[in-house]
């Protein structure tokens, strides 16, 4: 069967296509439209998916939307009416979003794609998250946990998934926590209070948390009392989630934690105010982790299963993921490359294919490269027209010489193959650099990413060597594959990995199997022979505020507008002229 999954109209739209169970294509609309977190109907992503399979829309057996618009509309309307007249300012906003786009999704899909209404299916939002997590995992049976801000009504679900012997799968979500009680919204409220953009700045809260102490954890617990059954609710006196589109925390929240930070006010950790922000971040992070660990532990006890598949935007919290793995009793934790709403396009398609239709499916590929491929000839042509010298060299030479460039302190834009599905660059649209000195981190922040961040950059290491440098618990491999876990850097290596080690001694490490990205793997080994450490700094190839690049032209533009020294794509290399060579790094002893 040919099944197209779509997520849209809330945050980070995407499309994904399955043909006979296999993911032929999946891409976020932002990568094509170049509008970060583009939530519009993902026509570009859909066209890419259909082109990739050489299909016309009429050939699709089903188009699956990632949530039930009427159920969501019901929630929005119910919430607003319950809070009228306090909610009067939110009402026009919600009506515009919901009536205009969400409710009439079937009509939009029919008119935009020409697919008859009877072929359009809807999954529940958390079924999509659950399917994205479980049906991409390398296991036949798993407990399932999903947690996000909100879908229709559910904000957190637990259950289990199993593959059937004759093909197809079951996903049973038997418990749920409903709006407005939401871990995602708790975290987002602190994100907003800390002056970061909601749905985008949550990772900054997690990063900032490492600078603070959870001194305010008891205050945070007042906001989220636990219930007798082990779950939680939000004390709505501290929130404005129900009634306003403008601010999510209430005056009582401000009484407890102080005035919100203005986004223009820098966080200076040398001041009392700056330390307070860090302490509040550490406190909400600690409470989030405690609750997730409790829920996961209870789920492990109830199911007796060894594997946990975790989906939803909360699963992007790599620090919490590491604690769940260590403390919940599960032996392995699976988080997909796209656990957030963009990944629901794939999740919705997988759910329809294997659960609804009961189709058999091949093993899900152990990578995340389902987007458009980069064209090295495009890079050569554009750079040539721009007056640059273009080198065309074979793989072996490219790997050897790029390792030398990196060892000499140069910063490399590294593009190959198809782009990543999900928010992380995993080696196909990456900026690579030497991981040793804090100066490199500062240079990347200053000359390329133009950001002042609380997260350091992430390291990538060959999977079989990861234990040498990082303290990975057993069962961490599925997390390391997609950079979904934050783990300690072993103390003896922290100084030599200063550019990728956070203030608390941790790193969001990517553990790389050779099959996943063979050229990058070989580059790591070549770099290890030169430097003594087969580890590189890997950050996404984009400038601040822009989506990760997709095409050679976008990669080249990023290279030209920033302090990147050279760009490499599919056997083509372009260097900036006239840049001084950084001093050679000292030879590290072989690990
Ligand atoms: Fe979601």
Count of residues in the chain: 591
Tell me if 308 sits within 8 A of 145, measured CB to CB. yes
465 contacts: CB under 8 Å, gap ≥ 6: 534, 591
- From ligand 1's centre to the CA of 306, what distance in Å? 25
Ligand 1 center to residue 34 CA distance, Å?
22
pLDDT at 451: 73
Banded pLDDT at 589 (limits 50, 70, 90): very low
Nearest to 49 by CA among 101, 105, 2: 2
584 pLDDT tier (thresholds 50, 70, 90): very low
Smallest Cα–Cα separation from 431: which of 531, 539, 528?
539
What is the CA(462)–ligand 1 centre distance, in A?
32
For residue 199, the model assigns a pLDDT of 83
Distance 303 CA to ligand 1 centre (A): 24
Ligand 1: centre distance to CA 245 (Å): 18
Q: Which of 6-20, 290-304, 483-497, 526-540 has the lowest mean pLDDT?
A: 6-20
Tell me the CA–centroid distance for residue 330 and ligand 1, in Å: 23
Q: What integer best gives the mean pLDDT of the chain?
A: 91
250 CA to centre of ligand 1 in angstroms: 24
Q: How far apart are CA 285 and CA 201, in angstroms?
A: 14
Give distance in angstroms: CA of 314 to centre of ligand 1: 9
Ligand 1: distance of its center to the CA of 66 in Å? 9
| Residue 474 neighbours by CB distance under 10 Å | 9
* Per-residue pLDDT, 84: 52
Residue 73 has pLDDT above 70, yes or no: no
Q: Give the pLDDT of residue 87.
A: 53
Residues 6+ apart with CB under 8 A from 38: 12, 13, 28, 29, 30, 547
pLDDT in tens, 319-336: 999 999 999 999 999 999
Contact status, residue 335 vs residue 136, Cβ threshold 8 Å: no
pLDDT interval class at 11 (50, 70, 90): confident
Q: Which secondary structure element, helix H or strand E, spans residue 520, and what is its range?
A: helix 518-531
CA of 151 to the centre of ligand 1 (A): 5
pLDDT of 455 > 90? The answer is no
CA of 308 to the centre of ligand 1 (A): 18
Q: In angstroms, what is the span from residue 419 Cα to ligand 1's centroid?
A: 22
Q: Residue range 278-291: average pLDDT?
A: 98
Confidence of residue 591 (pLDDT cuts 50, 70, 90): very low
In angstroms, what is the span from residue 93 Cα to ligand 1's centroid? 20
- Nearest-angstrom CA–CA distance, 113 and 120: 11
The predicted pLDDT at position 198 comes to: 86
User: From the CA of 347, how far away is ligand 1's center (Å)?
Assistant: 11
């Amino acid at each position: 069967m040919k099944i197209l999954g779509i997520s849209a109209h809330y945050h980070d739209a995407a499309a994904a296509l399955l043909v006979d169970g296999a993911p032929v294509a999946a891409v976020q609309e932002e990568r094509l439209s170049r509008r970060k977190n583009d939530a519009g109907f993902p026509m570009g992503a859909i066209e890419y998916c259909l082109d990739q399979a050489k299909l016309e829309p009429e050939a699709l057996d089903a188009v699956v939307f990632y949530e039930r618009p009427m159920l969501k509309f019901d929630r929005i309307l119910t919430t607003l009416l319950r809070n009228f007249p306090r909610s009067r300012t939110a009402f026009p906003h919600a009506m515009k979003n919901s009536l205009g786009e969400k409710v009439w999704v079937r009509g939009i899909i029919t008119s935009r794609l020409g697919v008859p209404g009877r072929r359009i299916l809807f999954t529940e939002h958390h079924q999509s998250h659950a399917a994205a997590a479980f049906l991409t995992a390398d296991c036949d049976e798993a407990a399932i946990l999903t947690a996000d801000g909100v879908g229709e009504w559910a904000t957190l679900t637990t259950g289990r998934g199993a593959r059937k012997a004759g093909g197809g799968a079951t996903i049973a979500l038997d418990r749920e926590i409903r709006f407005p009680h939401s871990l995602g919204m708790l975290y987002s409220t602190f994100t907003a209070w800390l002056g970061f953009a909601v749905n985008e700045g949550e990772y900054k809260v997690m990063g900032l948390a490492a600078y603070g102490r959870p001194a305010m954890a008891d205050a945070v617990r007042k906001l989220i009392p636990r219930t007798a059954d082990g779950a939680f609710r939000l004390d709505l006196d501290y929130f404005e989630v129900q009634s306003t589109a403008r601010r999510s925390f209430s005056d009582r929240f401000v009484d407890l934690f102080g005035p919100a930070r203005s986004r223009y006010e820098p966080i200076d950790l040398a001041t009392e105010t700056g330390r307070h922000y860090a302490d509040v971040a550490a406190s909400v992070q600690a409470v989030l982790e405690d609750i997730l660990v409790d829920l996961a532990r209870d789920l492990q006890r109830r199911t007796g299963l060894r594997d946990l598949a975790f989906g939803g935007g909360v699963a992007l919290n790599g620090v919490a993921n590491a604690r769940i793995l260590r403390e919940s009793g599960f032996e392995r934790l699976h988080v997909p490359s796209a656990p957030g709403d963009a990944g629901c396009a794939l999740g919705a398609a997988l759910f329809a294919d294997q659960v609804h239709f009961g189709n058999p499916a091949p093993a899900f590929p152990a990578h995340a490269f389902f987007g458009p491929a980069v064209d090295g000839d495009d890079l050569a042509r554009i750079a040539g027209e721009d007056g640059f010298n273009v080198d065309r060299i074979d793989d072996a030479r490219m790997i050897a010489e790029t390792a030398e460039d990196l060892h000499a302190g140069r910063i490399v834009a590294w593009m190959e193959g198809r782009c990543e599905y999900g928010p992380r660059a995993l080696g196909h649209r990456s900026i690579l650099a030497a991981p040793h000195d804090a100066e490199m981190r500062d240079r990347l922040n200053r000359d390329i990413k133009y950001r002042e961040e609380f997260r350091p950059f992430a390291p990538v290491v060959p999977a079989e060597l990861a234990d040498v440098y990082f303290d990975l618990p057993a069962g961490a491999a599925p997390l390391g594959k997609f950079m979904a876990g934050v783990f300690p850097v072993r103390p003896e290596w922290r100084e030599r990995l200063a550019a990728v080690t956070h203030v608390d001694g941790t790193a969001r490490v990517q553990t790389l199997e050779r099959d996943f990205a063979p050229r990058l793997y070989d580059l790591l080994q070549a770099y290890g022979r030169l430097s003594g450490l087969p580890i590189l700094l890997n950050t996404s190839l984009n400038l601040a505020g822009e989506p990760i690049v997709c095409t050679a032209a976008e990669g080249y533009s990023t290279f030209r507008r920033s302090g990147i020294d050279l760009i490499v794509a599919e056997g083509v290399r372009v260097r900036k002229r006239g840049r001084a060579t950084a001093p050679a790094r000292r030879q590290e002893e072989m690990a």
